[in-house]
Amino acid sequence: MSGYSMHLLVCGGTGCRASHSEEIEFKLRNELEKRNLEDTVKVLSTGCFGFCEKGPIVKVMPDNTFYTGVTPGDAEDIIAEHVVLGRTVSRLIYEDPSSKEKVPDSKKMGFSKKQLRIALRNCGFINPENINEYIAREGYMALGNVITDISPEDATRLVKDSGLRGRGGAGFSTGLKWELTAATPSDEKYVVCNADEGDPGAFMDRSILEGDPHNVLEAMAICGYCIGADKGLIYIRAEYPLAIERLKTAIKQAREYGLLGKNIMGSDFSFDIELKYGAGAFVCGEETALIHSMEGLRGEPSLKPPFPSVKGYNGKPTNVNNVETLANVPIIFLKGADWFSSIGTEKSKGTKVFALAGKINNVGLIEVPMGTTLREVIFEIGGGIKDGKKFKAVQTGGPSGGCLTENHLDTPIDFDNLIEAGSMMGSGGMIVMDEDDCMVSVAKFYLDFTVEESCGKCAPCRIGNKRLYELLDHICSGKGKVEVLDRLRLMSEVIKDTSLCGLGQTSPNPVLSTLDNFYDEYHAHVSDKKCPAGQCKDLMEYFIIEENCVGCTACARVCPVNAITGERKKPHEINQDICIKCGACMEKCKFDAIIIQ
């Protein structure tokens, strides 16, 4: 960044691009040119800053001022006020949702204070399409050190000693996986990066690839050196066009610099990478299904063993790691195994990236040390629940995880604690729910997703989850009976015990966790035929309170099915047989005369 007195970093991730960040960049450059400042102030497109709720983001360096919710129309003020006059543009400064205090310095925000960025260390700081900026932040130094000074065995041992576990969900030792693949004799081996991120609400891997693609390429090359592979494959869903574009650019640049291809850095080690595209099937996140998809076969899982480390892509030993796992590798070689293992908990080392979403003030991408509590994530980093509502539950682990309650808020986040609490780490989705969410409907939503994404290969998943979904649908529509709750639990446990792969084995987790933690809510649905949260339409009824109704006819005029009748200036009535429970009448009423029962 030398040569410029100031840098304007503009978020260039998918979310901010969708909100016109490219136009913001153009307008900022245009304003600088008008004032002949383009030689002293540089506009730089970066990856995701993480604070997605407040995007698009413009960060001013070196003073670290953080502008949120920026529009193209704000470009002139940023240049005229901040760049020229040195005054912050107050209306664009982040306001803390609790204290209502303006916080211009991103490091002092509650969102940032408890984060520790390792996998995300370059995202938001460099132009991901410029290899020189990655190199300026010690990029490819780890690869150079490894292939010139460390044997494959010692390098693998260092990863193993660091305690790095797979961030894709299972939490298997990364070093041990490398060791097993290296120990399998073969004339050909493969390194596979699993970038098939399919959890609802998850965007961790996408953001890493968009913001720091060279980090993943370097890690794959290190892995190739350790296991004896000269070919890497990145399996990425076609729905990630920006990540694909930046990966292609990064691979091309790395080849031009001699960091991929034949005789890397003048050594005997050769390694190259190509992209393989997926069609967005959730089951292809499972490593054997992923491998079959890359081979041009149906994306169905295989019974293990043999594991891919022994027999994987094209029948050859294959090491599969997900994007976030690989993003931790280069810095481990730069700072050492002891440094990495000093972060986190006894059995879960390092940090974890989460996509924090749902009914929370600070939606975004975060990275915290293992052992950080759910309370710290939700109420300090996340800024608490939107609109002052009451926290109800948090879903961790995506469709395969479970819903945890207020009683679990002080649970330290790591692989083992979340499993013990009835959920799981998963790849890092974290969805927060408030008092208005119906937990039966939440379980039904996730099961609907699982049913849709099942490959259908094994009967427990193909048929069992469909039957489980039907039971939940009956409960939500008021047709369920009390005895169905025991059937729900029994069927869930059978599916967990008998399914072929991780998708089916974990698919009942949302059902089991909500049954355990919100049994009263299930019971109200089947015994009282009421939805306590007021979300299940078939169990809702809209009523007009006579003493509050002034007969203004506003509700009747917006009712799409003419279910509301009554004379002007007299109380109206809702015909329950006709009402479709759309809520239009309640939204229109200015006198609080309409309630839900």
Say what the pLDDT of residue 398 is: 83
Per-residue pLDDT band for 300 (boundaries 50, 70, 90) equals very high
Question: In the predicted model, what is the mean pLDDT of residues 243-251?
Answer: 98
| 136-150, 258-272, 538-552: range with lowest mean pLDDT | 538-552
For residue 340, pLDDT over 80 is answered with yes
Question: In the predicted model, what is the mean pLDDT of residues 19-35?
Answer: 96
Per-residue pLDDT of 359-406, as tens digits, reads 999 999 999 999 999 999 999 999 999 999 999 999 998 888 899 999
Higher pLDDT, 135 or 400: 135
Q: Are 462 and 501 in contact (CB under 8 A)?
A: no
For residue 263, pLDDT over 80 is answered with yes
Structure tokens that stand for 298 in this block: 């149906």
Q: Which CATH superfamily is domain 6-106 in?
A: Glutaredoxin (3.40.30.10)
Per-residue pLDDT of 407-464, as tens digits, reads 999 999 999 999 999 899 888 889 999 999 999 999 999 999 999 999 999 999 999 9
The correct answer on CATH 3.40.50.11540 for the domain covering 439-528 is no
Per-residue pLDDT of 53-108, as tens digits, reads 899 999 999 989 999 999 999 999 999 999 999 999 999 999 888 788 999 988 88
| 37-46, 89-98, 520-529: range with lowest mean pLDDT | 89-98
Helix (H) or strand (E) holding 594: strand 594-596
Per-residue pLDDT band for 116 (boundaries 50, 70, 90) equals very high
Say what the pLDDT of residue 170 is: 79
Q: In which residue ranges of the chain is CATH 3.30.70.20 found?
A: 541-596
Which of 413, 409, 447 has the alpha carbon at shortest distance from 429? 413
Give the global pTM.
0.92
Higher pLDDT, 276 or 108: 276
Q: In which residue ranges of the chain is CATH 3.40.50.11540 found?
A: 131-339
The CATH number of 351-434 is 3.10.20.600
Say what the pLDDT of residue 2 is: 55
Q: In which residue ranges of the chain is CATH 1.20.1440.230 found?
A: 439-528
Write b or e for each residue in 267-276: b if 16 or more Cβ atoms lie within 10 A of its Cβ, otherwise e. Answer: eebebbbebb
Between CA 362 and CA 69 the distance in angstroms is 13
Per-residue pLDDT of 500-510, as tens digits, reads 998 899 999 99
Say what the pLDDT of residue 502 is: 87
Collapsing DSSP to helix, strand or coil, 410 comes out as coil
Question: In the predicted model, what is the mean pLDDT of residues 242-249?
Answer: 97
Which of the listed CATH numbers 3.30.70.20, 2.170.190.11, 3.40.50.970, 1.10.3720.10 matches domain 541-596? 3.30.70.20
Strand residue runs (E) in 62-175:
65-67, 94-95, 102-103
Question: In the predicted model, what is the mean pLDDT of residues 44-55?
Answer: 93
Which of 417, 418, 414 has the alpha carbon at shortest distance from 401? 418
Between CA 390 and CA 378 the distance in angstroms is 12
Q: What percent of the chain has pLDDT over 70?
A: 100
Packing angle of the helix pair 509-517, 439-453 (nearest 10 deg): 170
Mean pLDDT of the chain: 94
Write b or e for each residue in 455-489: b if 16 or more Cβ atoms lie within 10 A of its Cβ, otherwise e. Answer: bebbebbbebbeebbebbbebbebebeeebbeebe
Say what the pLDDT of residue 236 is: 96
Question: In the predicted model, what is the mean pLDDT of residues 565-584?
Answer: 92
The CATH number of 131-339 is 3.40.50.11540
Between CA 31 and CA 76 the distance in angstroms is 6
Which of 411, 474, 418, 420 has the alpha carbon at shortest distance from 447? 474
Question: In the predicted model, what is the mean pLDDT of residues 510-538?
Answer: 93
Q: Are 178 and 223 in contact (CB under 8 A)?
A: yes
CA 293 to chain centre: 23
Say what the pLDDT of residue 1 is: 45
Other Cβ atoms within 10 Å of 239 Cβ, number: 14
For residue 200, pLDDT over 90 is answered with no
CA distances from 594 to 539, 541, 584 (A): 16, 10, 11
For residue 580, pLDDT over 80 is answered with yes
| For residue 97, cis peptide bond before it (omega within 30 degrees of 0) | no
